[in-house]
Structure 1
Amino acid sequence: MKVLSSEITLGIAPGSVVITDTAVDSFFKPRFEQVILGNIVTRSTELDKELAEELLNCSKEIPNFPTLIGHTMCTYDFYEGQGRLDGALCCFSREKKLDYLKKAYKAGIRNIEMESTVFAAMCGLCGLKAAVVCVTLLDRLECDQINSAHEILVEYQQRPQLLISKFIKQRLGFQSQTS
């Protein structure tokens, strides 16, 4: 299971936990492309749907814990690849950025990061049930800069670990014990 604590979100409130059902590339395709011996090999990035549902159900037992299932877009870089306007280089307008991010939202993407496609592809190749669990820190449809207080960000960053630890305890039969 991959747990991330600092993610960018699309159209959902900061602090929400996103359980990824499918990792997609920057074209919104569920694939990971890798060059092997000069050839492009494309692998699926579908994740285990039952595991995602199980994690979502587990999250419902945690008070004040906004959680949803959605696609995660994986990009090659943090700035231009994610449509950010606050990097050193930027070759597009705010309107182009918002148009792209709105298309991503319509395609089911709820957060953006940089590792999920390779993780999903490798787990699938190995036959492993896998999940990606992220917490969101800001809504990219609203802004590019994180402006929450440090204490709030620390609490947000603990949410994926809280969910995964609760899930593991349930799987081990320790659900009656407190976290």
Structure 2
Amino acid sequence: MNYDKLNPFFQNLEVDYLYHLGFDSGQNLEQMFGDVEYVILTRSFNNADTIANEFTKKFYSIRDTDVRCKTIGKRERYHIHKIHNSLIVSHGIGVPSLLICLNEVVKLLWHAKVKSPKFFRVGPSGGLGVNPGQIVVGTEAVTNTLEAQFESIEFGQLHHYPTQFCHALTQDFINAINKNETASIVTGKIIGGMGYYNGQARLNGAMPLSYTPEEQQQYLHKAYNQGVRSFDMEATGFAGFCNQLEISCCEINAVLVDRFLTDEIYISKQEQILHFKKAANLVIDYVINH
């Protein structure tokens, strides 16, 4: 993380209130979070809790015992856990919620004097030519129009930021994966859709469509031919934010449906949980082993 690129205004506040996380700079944040090396982000409360529980069991070699980790900070907007040298945070649905979370997490780390954190984001996704249960490791995030940029409107002006994921971290992560798991790993671009339905070219939303089923398939195949292997709703915001501050970042998607075949997630809830845990455990193993 490049401290020189951080906004100087928050650094000079008498008290910096991290309102959505439930912390402030009047607390001894360095003592609480100064050893953080990894930030693991995911979308939902349940997924953050799952990662924290799985991390704890692996790190402390707990077997045959149910683990339920308590959250810290506020609970109503995000779920936050700290396990060893890792901060595990749910960021909510969509880029706006994600950016609120990322802003306050970065400010928290600055107050804690953390200099070189690595950010992982892991979550469920739709795949393109990728089967449920496979895992997509992102190379870069692209918009709905397949451009590798994050579009941000600031003070009424449109800005664009690059959206490549950190090649060195991504490659190191892939190299660290157990050979037994590599067959289920796919690398490729991730579309950060503006919404879940029309924003991801689905046919099953409430709003009228500006495209036909045939045009949908043409679009999906165009995206595939340009290297896209999964859809989510936060990839461009995640990569764009991290690149602005030179934060090493990597995104991992657990695929729940192949969008070439259907828009509907047809696998059971239990299968969805298993697929997410598989992706999450790859990140946990990487963090613990490093």
What is the TM-score with the length of structure 1 in the denominator?
Answer: 0.90
Asked if the contact 1:5–1:158 (Cα under 8 Å) also holds between the matched residues in 2, the reply is: no
Asked if the contact 1:19–1:52 (Cα under 8 Å) also holds between the matched residues in 2, the reply is: yes
Identity percentage over the alignment? 24
Which residue of 68, 76, 80 corresponds with 2:194?
A: 76
Matches within 5 A, 1:77-96: 77-91=195-209, 92-96=211-215
Matches within 5 A, 1:1-179: 1-63=119-181, 66-91=184-209, 92-171=211-290
Asked if the contact 1:16–1:136 (Cα under 8 Å) also holds between the matched residues in 2, the reply is: yes
Task: List per-residue Cα deviations over 1:22-63 (Å, max 9, x = no partner).
Answer: 000011111001111221111000111121112222223454
Secondary structure of the structure 2 residue equivalent to 1:166: helix
Q: Could you tell me which amino acid in structure 1 is paired with residue 134 of structure 2? A: S
> Which ranges in structure 1 are unaligned for 5 or more consecutive residues?
172-179
Q: Cα–Cα, structure 1 residues 62 and 168, in superposed 2: closer, same or farther, change >3 Å? A: farther
Q: Could you tell me which amino acid in structure 1 is paired with residue 124 of structure 2? A: S
Q: Cα–Cα, structure 1 residues 165 and 102, in superposed 2: closer, same or farther, change >3 Å? A: same
* Alignment partner, residue 86 of structure 2: none
* Alignment partner, residue 176 of structure 1: none
CA distance in 2, matches of 1:9, 1:154: 16
Secondary structure of the structure 2 residue equivalent to 1:23: strand
What is the TM-score with the length of structure 2 in the denominator?
Answer: 0.57
Asked if the contact 1:52–1:69 (Cα under 8 Å) also holds between the matched residues in 2, the reply is: no
* Alignment partner, residue 177 of structure 1: none
Q: Which has the higher contact order (CA 8 A, sep 6+)?
A: 1
Secondary structure of the structure 1 residue equivalent to 2:216: helix
CA distance in 2, matches of 1:108, 1:50: 19
Q: Could you tell me which amino acid in structure 2 is paired with residue 112 of structure 1? A: F
Secondary structure of the structure 1 residue equivalent to 2:241: helix
Larger radius of gyration: 2
Asked if the contact 1:31–1:121 (Cα under 8 Å) also holds between the matched residues in 2, the reply is: yes
